[in-house]
Amino acid sequence: MKVVVSVGGSVLAPDLAADRVAAYGDVLVDLAADHEVAAVVGGGRVAREYIDAARQLGGNEIELDQLGIGVTRLNARLLGAAMEGPVKPPEEYDGAAEALRRDGLVVMGGVVPGQTTDAVAAALAEYVEADLLVYATSVPGVFDADPNEDPDAERYDRLPAAELVELVASGGSLGSAGSNAPIDLLAAKLVQRSGTRTLVLDGEDPDRVRGAVRDGDYDGTEIVPDGEVDP
């Protein structure tokens, strides 16, 4: 199976602990024994801190995105170092796809300004025709409201891709800026377009990613390609 795993920066390195990065690296190497595995790493708190500081210094939004991309690539290097030894993460999809074909395992960060690594993961999944895309996030799935704000928020077990797009685009509590939408709009649209089978789960413990990929055992939300949904 060909798998793309999106590892949120706040999941991989909330506090830059080497053992957490090593645990993620171990799981990805382990999965790569049986599958082709591509990981896309986010920037987390460090990216936000750089972006906030640069905004105060008057940086424009593209410059801020470029700083964010830099941090995602640093995190990708860190995870790469925990796996097979440090290698320069590919900076675009061609290079990532080539490394995936060659090595069966690749890690990358951001690509271009104006998006997040959610979209990078969805685009890479589309590019390599992945069988499965896993979003390892800091929330345990897709909810109808922000679970941190609304105690009545309910999680979707299965959600058609078109409904995910609507939910994120509607700008409700799930999709508004600063909310806990686990996937951004561009990513949702790419998931819908490619029809990639997608899981959104709490990735704090990398074993959950292992279970989802290896055994199909997960606790989260499955985004189901349009047309494959029971009425």
Contact residues toward ligand UTP (CB under 6 A) are: 8-10, 42-44, 47, 64-65, 68-69, 72, 110-118, 120
Strand partners, 222: 158, 199
Q: Residue 209: is it exposed, middle or buried by C-beta count within 10 angstroms (0-12/13-18/19+)? A: buried
Please report how close the Cβ of residue 167 comes to ligand UTP at its closest, in angstroms. Answer: 17
105: helix, coil or strand? strand
Shorter beta-carbon distance to ligand UTP: residue 193 or 214: 193
- In terms of CB distance, is 30 or 97 closer to ligand UTP? 97
Closest to ligand UTP by CB, 8 or 160: 8
Task: Tell me the closest approach of the beta carbon of residue 159 to ligand UTP, in angstroms.
Answer: 19
Across 123-135, b (16+ Cβ under 10 Å) vs e yields: bbbbbbebebbbb
Q: Report yes or no: 136 and 11 within 8 Å, Cβ to Cβ.
A: yes
CB of 71 to ligand UTP, least distance (A): 6
d(CA 55, CA 65): 11
Cβ 66 to ligand UTP shortest distance, Å? 7
**3 vs 69, beta carbon nearer ligand UTP:** 69
Q: How far apart are CA 36 and CA 3, in angstroms?
A: 6
Q: Which residue is nearest to ligand UTP (CB)?
A: 68
Alpha-carbon distance of 214 to 17, in angstroms, equals: 26
Which residue's CB is nearer to ligand UTP, number 65 or number 126? 65
Q: Minimum distance from CB of 222 to ligand UTP (Å)?
A: 20
